[in-house]
């Protein structure tokens, strides 16, 4: 899961690109990068947070231009090397730059085909480089100096044909315009915004609507599943359409966006993330009631679970307290690359307020329980702070299966809930009781925000994958790749 942004504006965009990326920092903290255009490409990228990569004036003073792309990286395919940081670009044809959010599930076979059949050399282990080369190969054969929208649609069709999985993409074709598209099932989010209150229209494309709000774009919408948008640089005209072959694909956005990844002030597929989490808290309260537990206080695991925990406490008529203080200079532990880093960071990131735990029966509320390491550390903190009993509630259903669409859950062994009942899970994390949200309630909390949504990608909760290419052989290949990438990160 990464954060992407593309801007076409009337003044230098670097400061606004940086502001947009800061709005998306929660989506990735391993690397960051920016590319701008003023007749040539200017690129700056590196490992770490945005503040690390763009720490001085010298880091941005050469990033000139009114058009630009930005990216914050959270690795799935590829490792944690500088070579895997985005944006990427190629000089032929035209000069094309790219950023993406998601995962190409057939990356290894696609890479082999590009290298052996198309004679293209790939410099990184990042799947976006494969998408870029497929797109560039399709445009290389057009007969004129500028691509038409029809030819861009054909190039995206070539990407859909060859690159399987889930991805949202922003490209810039030098001197011609911005291109954006969302995978045929719309699994990964993408938002398109326009401003017409200036002498020329201005455009923004980003992973979340919070970027639009941050940059003053009041007119924005979701990019539809399989939709292609082209913004002509000279005319500032917008072209949009769908690849005909993929029009019949169902729209199945990732449910985990509302559970954890997206900011609460964002709209994903017209659903307010904050409100969906409030409803998840309301429905979770109904589950907690069934156990008739003696609870003194409800305490959220900050920050994503706060909205649900407040509503849960209200529904049950219980005290709500902020019992865990978060150090905001430590990143999100879920998206850290290894178990040791996550466990260590939890202890640095959270500190208990002893008075809220001592001699109390505490209900801790979190968004999910994935590997169990974080939950175990937090339960231990509560006990060390003097809690009499510690109950642990997740406002999402049990996670049991790997995600191959861009979330860092790619090996079966990672899931504490896989093959275990709630008593076994409680024992492993040290809690007196574990309570999960039923999957139907989790989905209903999002449906309430947009009754036109028919389904979601919920493979990590069900083990059923919505795209046809996921096979036993592919799963083994992806898991082996992930193990190698983790080893490389841990040894670097």
**Residue 58 marked ligand-binding:** no
- Is a pLDDT exceeding 80 seen at residue 486? no
Which tens digit of pLDDT belongs to each residue from 101-145? 999 999 999 999 999 998 888 989 899 999 999 999 999 988 888
Beta strands in 355-486 (DSSP E): 361-366, 389-394, 433-436
The yes-or-no verdict on residue 341 having pLDDT over 60 is no
Buried b / exposed e over 86-98, threshold 16 CB at 10 Å, is bbbbbeebbbbbb
Find out whether 185 is annotated in a ligand binding site. Answer: no
Flag whether 359 is marked binding: no
- Report in angstroms the alpha-carbon separations of 313 from 172, 310, 317, 320: 48, 5, 6, 6
Q: What pLDDT, in 10s, does the model give residues 270-280? A: 999 999 999 99
Residue-wise pLDDT tens digits, 423-476: 999 999 999 999 999 999 999 999 999 999 999 999 999 999 999 999 888 888
Q: Around Cβ 113, how many Cβ atoms within 10 Å?
A: 15
Please give the pLDDT value at position 80.
67
pLDDT in tens, 94-103: 999 999 999 9
Tell me the per-residue pLDDT of 18-54, one tens digit each, with 9 for 90 and over. 999 999 999 999 999 999 999 999 999 999 999 999 9
- pLDDT tens for 153-209 read 999 999 999 999 999 999 999 999 999 999 999 999 999 999 998 889 999 999 999
Q: How far apart are CA 413 and CA 362, in angstroms?
A: 30
pLDDT of 335 reads 47
Given 2, 185, 194, 377, the catalytic residue: 2
pLDDT at 5 over 80: yes
Q: Does the annotation list 127 as a binding residue?
A: no
Write the pLDDT tens digit of every residue in 318-340: 999 999 998 877 655 544 544 55
Structural domains of the chain, ranges and CATH numbers in brackets:
3-252 (3.60.20.10), 272-465 (3.40.50.2020)
Give the pLDDT band (50/70/90) at residue 58: confident
What would the mean pLDDT of 416-428 be, rounded to a whole number? 96
Please confirm, yes or no, whether 2 is among the known catalytic residues: yes
Decide if pLDDT at 59 tops 90: no
Burial of residue 275 (number of CB atoms within 10 Å: 0-12, 13-18, 19+): middle
What is the pLDDT, as a whole number, of residue 354?
Answer: 96
Mean pLDDT of the chain: 92
Instruction: Give the per-residue pLDDT at 69.
Output: 98
CA distance 57 to 128: 29
pLDDT value of position 236? 96
CA dihedral 396, 399, 405, 411 (to 10 degrees): 160
Asked if the model's pLDDT at residue 487 lies above 70, the reply is: no
What pLDDT, on the 0 to 100 scale, is given for residue 329? 73
Selection from 62, 23, 22, 16 nearest residue 42 by Cα: 62
Q: Is 345 helix (H, G, I), strand (E, B) or coil?
A: helix
Is the pLDDT at 344 greater than 80, yes or no? no
Whether 76 has a pLDDT exceeding 80, the answer reads no
377 is in an annotated binding site: no
| Alpha carbons 488 and 172: distance in angstroms, whole number | 31
**What pLDDT shows up at residue 390?**
98
Q: Is residue 483's pLDDT more than 60?
A: yes
Residue bearing the bigger pLDDT, 77 or 92: 92
What the block records as the tokens of 272 is 């307010």
For 243-279, what is each residue's pLDDT tens digit? 999 999 999 999 999 999 999 999 999 999 999 999 9
């Amino acid at each position: 899961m990464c954060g992407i942004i593309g801007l076409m504006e009337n003044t230098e965009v670097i400061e606004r690109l940086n502001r947009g990326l800061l709005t998306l920092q929660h989506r990735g903290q391993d690397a960051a990068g920016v590319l701008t255009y003023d007749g040539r490409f200017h690129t700056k990228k590196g490992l770490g947070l945005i503040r690390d990569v763009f720490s001085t004036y010298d880091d941005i003073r050469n990033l000139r231009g009114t058009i630009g792309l930005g990216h914050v990286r959270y690795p799935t395919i590829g490792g944690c090397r500088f070579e895997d940081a985005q944006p990427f670009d190629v000089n032929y044809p035209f000069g094309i730059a790219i950023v993406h959010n998601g995962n190409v599930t057939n990356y290894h076979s696609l890479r082999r085909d590009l290298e052996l059949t198309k004679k293209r050399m790939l410099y990184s282990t990042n799947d976006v480089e494969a998408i870029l080369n497929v797109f560039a190969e399709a445009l290389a054969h057009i007969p004129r100096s500028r691509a038409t929208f029809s030819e861009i649609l054909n190039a995206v069709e070539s990407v859909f044909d060859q690159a399987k999985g889930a991805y949202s993409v922003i490209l810039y074709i030098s001197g011609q315009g911005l291109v954006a598209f969302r995978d045929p099932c719309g699994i990964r989010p993408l938002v398109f915004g326009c401003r017409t209150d200036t002498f020329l229209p201005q455009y923004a494309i980003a992973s979340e609507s919070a970027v639009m709000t941050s940059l003053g774009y009041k007119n924005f919408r979701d990019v539809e599943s399989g939709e292609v948008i082209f913004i002509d640089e000279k005319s500032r005209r917008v072209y949009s359409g769908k690849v005909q072959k993929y029009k019949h694909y169902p729209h199945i956005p990732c449910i985990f966006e509302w559970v954890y990844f997206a900011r609460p002030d964002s709209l994903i597929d017209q659903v307010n993330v904050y409100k969906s989490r409030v409803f998840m808290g309301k429905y979770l309260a109904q589950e907690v009631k069934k156990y008739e537990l003696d609870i003194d206080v409800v305490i959220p695991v900050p920050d994503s679970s706060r909205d649900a925990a407040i509503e849960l406490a209200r529904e049950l008529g219980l005290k709500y307290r902020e019992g865990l203080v978060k150090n905001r200079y430590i990143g999100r532990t879920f998206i850290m690359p290894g178990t040791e880093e996550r466990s260590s960071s939890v202890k640095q990131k959270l500190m208990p307020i002893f008075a809220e735990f001592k001699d109390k029966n505490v209900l801790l509320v979190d968004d999910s329980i994935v590997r169990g390491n974080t939950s175990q550390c937090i339960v231990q903190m509560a006990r060390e702070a003097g809690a009499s009993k510690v109950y642990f509630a997740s406002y999402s259903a049990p996670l049991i299966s790997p995600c191959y669409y861009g979330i860092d859950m790619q090996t079966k062994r990672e899931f504490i809930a896989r093959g275990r009942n709630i008593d076994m899970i409680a024992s492993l994390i040290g809690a007196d009781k574990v309570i999960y949200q039923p999957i139907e309630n989790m989905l209903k909390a999002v449906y309430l925000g947009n009754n036109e949504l028919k389904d979601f990608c919920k493979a990590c909760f069900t083990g059923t994958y919505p795209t046809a290419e996921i096979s036993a052989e592919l799963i083994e290949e992806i898991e082996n790749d992930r193990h190698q990438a983790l080893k490389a990160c841990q040894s670097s």
